[in-house]
Amino acid sequence: MRYEEMKPREIEDVLRDAPIAYLVWGSHEWHGVQNPVGLDTLKAHAMALELCRVTGGVVLPPVYCGYQTMKPWMGFRHTLEFSRELVSRFVYEHLENLYEEGFRVIVVLMGHYGGKHVEAVKQGVAMFTDKHARARVLAFPDYEPASWVKVNGGDHGGRNETSLMMHFRPDLVDLSRLPSRELAVERDGVSPNAREATAEHGAMLARVFVEQAAPKVRDLLREALASWPQAST
């Protein structure tokens, strides 16, 4: 399931049975004193692995390449900021490579939510789909599937993202580091409800994500195989 750990024969089996590739796109970015700077990417990668267990396919190593991060907005340190042009081009070239390898459904799962960053990723997707009409690409922030059933899963290092980290990697979260005063995004770089994070809430968000996203990925796979029958041979 982890592309980088698979042998060629194992990848060929996936291409025959379920040619789905999950490409996780995140950042190195400040998410409060309680969280690791790789939060965006770490939790999205864990979510992709859980989804892949249900749908089949492979999960690529996550990409840490964020645009519109906390650095240019409020000057938060320990954050790496890349250009819009680089993000779009990097997405496009990943898709071209995966398509050439034989993957017919590609899911770009964004763990970093900046609106302009999402636009940059989707621009790269559009460049690719303009050339390959039969390919199926689904690109969305990792909180989006939960919103389809009216579960609000998006924030910045707040209750939701911190809860997901507590679910997947509790060893990387330390709520005791949060200051006792009221939290503010401008001052602390996190959503004010960060103290409300629990592993149980994170488990619920992860479960809803898989429940909602899996049917859409399966539908795309059926469409792709119908339009490109040789993908299943």
Q: What is the pLDDT of residue 231?
A: 43
User: At residue 69, does pLDDT exceed 60?
Assistant: yes
Cross-strand bridge partners of residue 136: 105
Whether the full predicted model's pTM is greater than 0.85, yes or no, is yes
Best CATH choice for the domain 3-149+209-232 from the list 3.20.20.70, 3.60.150.10, 3.40.50.10310, 3.40.50.2300: 3.40.50.10310
- Per the CB < 8 A criterion, the answer to whether 205 and 211 are in contact is no
- Tokens found for residue 180: 């006792």
For residue 108, how far is the Cα from the chain centroid?
A: 7
**Residue pLDDT, tens place only, 133-151:** 889 999 999 999 999 999 9
Confidence of residue 73 (pLDDT cuts 50, 70, 90): confident
- Read off the pLDDT of residues 11-39 as tens digits, 9 standing for 90 and up: 999 999 999 999 999 999 999 999 999 99
